[in-house]
């Protein structure tokens, strides 16, 4: 049989308006892009979340058809939960024994999680230690991990990344995978997929700004570890609406103009985009809350992701407004792919970062064995 013995991993990103899938295989101990697919689904997003009814029939049918039509042969599937569907937050504790820390985390979790802990899937990880004289302000929205804690106690502080997702949401994705006839390997909050795809093991400090259709996910990352995560209700659809209204055209035409390469952000343009300034302001608040002083010097760069990252001039606008070098993320940077895809590489990088990050988790786990 063709492809017999090949190890393949499928990352599936169910967004607010699209399903994006990437299949990676291992070639010469490196990840290789073997396939990808995307389909737009109207009406997928409800008031505050993806519509639960779609998980029963609509989404499984779309995913099955995407796998079949694209010719994906892998069966190991990695799903993401949207960033707004879970919690990722950094909490600081006095250095203490493992048992005491376990109890302290459970006690503190109640302050950040608005529902009973019996109704959530909870995990945490120690991500750093600090001098006792330093202080850290925790963020309000944030994600996943596994714990490895030293037994000794000290006078300093430990930073714990707390990750939680409602059990009923996790169960929905488990059933979705089952109905697609794929073998579910893991479910993670998409922020972790983005970090894996766009930063990997880079030891710098970055802010990932993933601008989706309706939600903007802002992730502050130090040396590959999430230290702050915030979501705001702002995205590409807001930019399209401004273009449509300003030019008196329909939304479909505005969507195409948004990614046509036309720069609406130059001084020559009379169109203003309040949503972009809203995102810029939120990025500043995240950095200032975490670093307290001289956040510009502390951050090595802003990384843009999501379909709206392709909005011409956006990287330059962010660089000027924030005073920090801004670049468009390249999740294909550590992946081999057919060079005939080069003309579409930028589009793939903008829109498939989460799916690529998910599939990479399978590749990474397999290569470690």
Cβ 251 vs Cβ 239: under 8 Å: no
Please report whether residue 237 resides in a domain: no
Please report whether residue 301 resides in a domain: no
Place of tokens 């519509």: 51
Across 191-214, b (16+ Cβ under 10 Å) vs e yields bbbbbbbbbeeeeebbbbbbbbbb
Per-residue pLDDT tens digits for 187-233? 999 999 999 999 988 889 999 999 988 899 999 999 999 999 999 99
Determine if residue 285 is left, alpha or beta; phi over 0 gives left, psi from -120 to 50 gives alpha, anything else beta: alpha
Please report whether residue 98 resides in a domain: yes
Please report whether residue 302 resides in a domain: no
Number of structural domains found in the chain: 1
Picking from 52-56, 149-153, 210-214, which range would have the lowest pLDDT averaged per residue?
149-153
Please report whether residue 77 resides in a domain: no
pLDDT of residue 154: 52
Please report whether residue 348 resides in a domain: no
Say whether pLDDT at 47 is over 80.
no
Please report whether residue 53 resides in a domain: no
Per-residue pLDDT tens digits for 100-140? 998 999 888 888 888 888 999 999 999 887 654 433 333 44
Q: What is the mean pLDDT of the chain?
A: 86
Q: Which domain holds residue 98?
A: 84-166
Q: What's the pLDDT band for 17 if we cut at 50, 70, 90?
A: confident
Determine if residue 278 is left, alpha or beta; phi over 0 gives left, psi from -120 to 50 gives alpha, anything else beta: alpha
From edge to edge, which strands make up the β-sheet containing 183-189? 30-40, 18-27, 8-14, 76-81, 183-189
CA atoms within 13 A on the CB side of 65: 9
Please report whether residue 56 resides in a domain: no
């Amino acid at each position: 049989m063709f492809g017999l013995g090949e190890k393949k991993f499928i990352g599936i990103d169910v967004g607010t308006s699209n399903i994006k899938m990437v299949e990676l295989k291992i070639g010469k101990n490196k990840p290789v892009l073997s396939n990808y697919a995307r389909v737009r689904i109207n009406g997928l997003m409800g008031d505050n979340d993806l519509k639960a009814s779609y998980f029963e029939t609509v989404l499984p049918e779309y995913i099955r058809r995407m796998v079949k039509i694209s010719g994906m042969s892998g069966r190991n599937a990695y799903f993401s939960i949207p960033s707004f569907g879970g919690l990722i937050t950094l909490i600081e504790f006095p250095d203490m024994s493992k048992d005491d820390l376990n109890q302290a985390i459970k006690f503190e979790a109640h302050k950040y999680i608005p529902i009973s802990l019996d109704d959530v899937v909870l995990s945490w990880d120690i991500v750093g230690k600090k001098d006792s004289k330093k202080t850290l302000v925790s963020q309000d929205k944030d994600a996943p991990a596994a714990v490895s804690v030293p037994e000794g106690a000290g006078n300093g502080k430990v930073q714990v990344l707390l990750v939680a997702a409602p059990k009923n949401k996790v169960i929905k994705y488990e059933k979705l995978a089952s109905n697609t006839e794929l073998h579910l390997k893991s479910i993670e909050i998409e922020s972790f997929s983005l970090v894996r795809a766009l930063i990997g093991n880079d030891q710098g400090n970055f802010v990932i700004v993933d601008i989706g259709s309706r939600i903007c996910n802002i992730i502050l990352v130090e040396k590959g570890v999430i230290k702050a995560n915030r979501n705001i209700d702002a995205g590409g659809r807001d930019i399209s609406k401004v273009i449509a209204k300003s030019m008196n055209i329909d939304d479909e035409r505005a969507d195409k103009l948004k990614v046509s390469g036309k720069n609406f952000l130059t001084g020559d343009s009379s169109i203003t985009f309040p949503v972009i300034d809203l995102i810029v302001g939120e990025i500043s608040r995240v950095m200032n809350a975490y670093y307290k002083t001289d956040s510009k010097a502390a951050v090595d760069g802003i990384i843009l992701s999501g379909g709206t990252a392709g909005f011409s001039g956006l990287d330059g606008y962010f660089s000027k407004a924030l005073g920090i070098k801004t670049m468009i993320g390249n999740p294909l940077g550590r992946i081999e792919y057919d060079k005939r895809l080069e003309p579409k590489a930028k589009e793939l990088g903008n829109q498939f970062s989460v799916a690529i990050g998910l599939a990479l988790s399978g590749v990474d786990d397999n290569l470690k064995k």
